[in-house]
Each structure stands twice: as C-alpha cells, then as structure tokens.
Structure 1
Amino acid sequence: MDDTVRVLVADDEDDIRLLVSLAVRKAGGTVVAAVADGRQALAAARTELPDLLVLDVSMPGATGLEVCTALRADVATAGCRVLLLSAGASPDDVAAGLAAGADAYLPKPLAGLIAEVRSLTAVVRA
C-alpha cells in the first residue's frame, strides 16, 4: 500500500507554487495538482481527494478561505488537511483562517513551510 501523502498546491503566483511544490517533495509528499486560482483548487480537490491542500488566502476565483469553507462543507473533502498561506499575519488574519476550517496558517515569507508540511502530513500517515 502506498502511504505517500498526496498534496494539492494552490497559489496565483507561479514562484510560490513552485516553492511550495518543492517543499512538499522535500517533506516526502507528492504534488497531485498545482493550480493558480480558488475555483481550480476546489475542482481539483474534488477530483484528486488529496490528503493535504496548501492554499494561498488571496487568490482569484475564490479565496483560500472560501475554498477551505467549501471543502469542510463537502463530505468527500471534509477530512482533507488544509494549510493556509498568506502575507497577512495579524492575529485576526490567523483567526479568520482557523475559523474557516484550516488546520494551520503560515504567514509569508514561508519560513517553516517544510516543517509545517511534515507536521500536517504525519497525522495522515499515523
């Protein structure tokens, strides 16, 4: 049985998508999709059923918060882990992300990204 963690990456910035994808691979995961907007993220999540989604908060189509809320409302994706990334790092920003159902919230720049991906994916493997 393959226990590789399947990760969907969604960010409207090409460089950030690449950086996150590299971090996922370094953490031992497999990127099943890397998309540039929230609508694509939601569609890919419903198709791929990843273990973890790494979502930018500010994306066109649908924000990371909106995607997270939709994932939690859908029985097929409600169990996916969600890591939100954002340039906004105020306590209110973090609280909004967690209230939307995120498992973790990491401010940009992405110091600690690999450690956070490993932490969230360890739960999936357990």
Structure 2
Amino acid sequence: MTIPHPARILVVEDEDNIATALEYLITREGYRHDRVASGAEALPRIRDTRPNLVLLDVMLPEVSGYEICESIRTDPALSGIKVLMMTARGSAVERRKGLALGADGFITKPFELKDLRAEVRRLLAP
C-alpha cells in the first residue's frame, strides 16, 4: 500500500504576518507549502512546482491575483490546480470577479482560521 504524498500548497501573499499565519495553519494540517511574496514570482513558481492549491492574495505587487488566476485558468497545463483567492476588500463584486475568472473559492481577510481550514479541506478533497 502506498502512502499518498501530502498536498502541496503555494501561498502567494505579500504581507509577512498573514503569510506566517497561513504557513502555520498549512503545516499543522500536514500539507507541504511554499511561498512567494509578489505577483511576478507566482506564475513561474506555479509552473515549476505544480501545487495542488494556490492561496492567492488579490492585491499583490507587480501582477494582481486576478491576473494570476486568469493565467492559471487559460493554461491547459495548469488546469488541475485549485485556486483560493483572498482579499481584504471582500465585497460581492470582488467575489464575483474572482469566481468569474475561475477561482475555486474566495475568502475575505481577516478570516477565521477554522473557515480557511474548511475551505482548504474542501478544495483538496479527493
């Protein structure tokens, strides 16, 4: 019997305190993770590492989370990657935009860790 590898999550977040909290949660849940702090770094890292899930901040330096999400969805090689967008501007318009661009989920900051944990588990469920 083979033991499945833990899912790999890429955190795309420019605020260190939020990234630290996310990495803590991801580690406690038993997932592997990596982090980039700018939009420009995100797509090359996604293509190199093929994470199971991208936790994607909307407001990033250089390239927005919306642009990254759209790029993931238009690249057939990245089709299996789940995207959970995060933003402090959690209006219904922002949410609709993210989901319209292909995000699998959308969470508003500040979020409760239990809510984030539930979303991550939902998106990574077999």
Report the TM-score, using the length of structure 1 for normalisation.
Answer: 0.91
Q: Hey, what does 2:122 align to over in structure 1?
A: 119
Runs of 5+ unmatched residues, structure 2: none
Q: Deviations over 1:27-75 (max 9, x none)?
A: 33110x2010111111100000000000000001211111000011111
Indicate conservation of the 8 Å contact 1:58/1:86, yes or no: yes
Q: Hey, what does 1:50 align to over in structure 2?
A: 51
CA drift at 1:113: 1.1
Please, which of 3, 6, 9 is the counterpart of residue 4 of structure 1?
Answer: 6
Indicate conservation of the 8 Å contact 1:72/1:79, yes or no: no
Q: Percent identity?
A: 38
Which structure 2 residues correspond to residues 59-70 of structure 1 after superposition, within 5 A? Answer: 59-70=60-71
Report the RMSD for the aligned CA atoms in angstroms: 1.1
Indicate conservation of the 8 Å contact 1:27/1:117, yes or no: no
CA drift at 1:87: 0.4
Count residues in correspondence: 122
Report the TM-score, using the length of structure 2 for normalisation.
Answer: 0.91
Q: Hey, what does 2:88 align to over in structure 1?
A: 87
Q: Which has the higher contact order (CA 8 A, sep 6+)?
A: 1
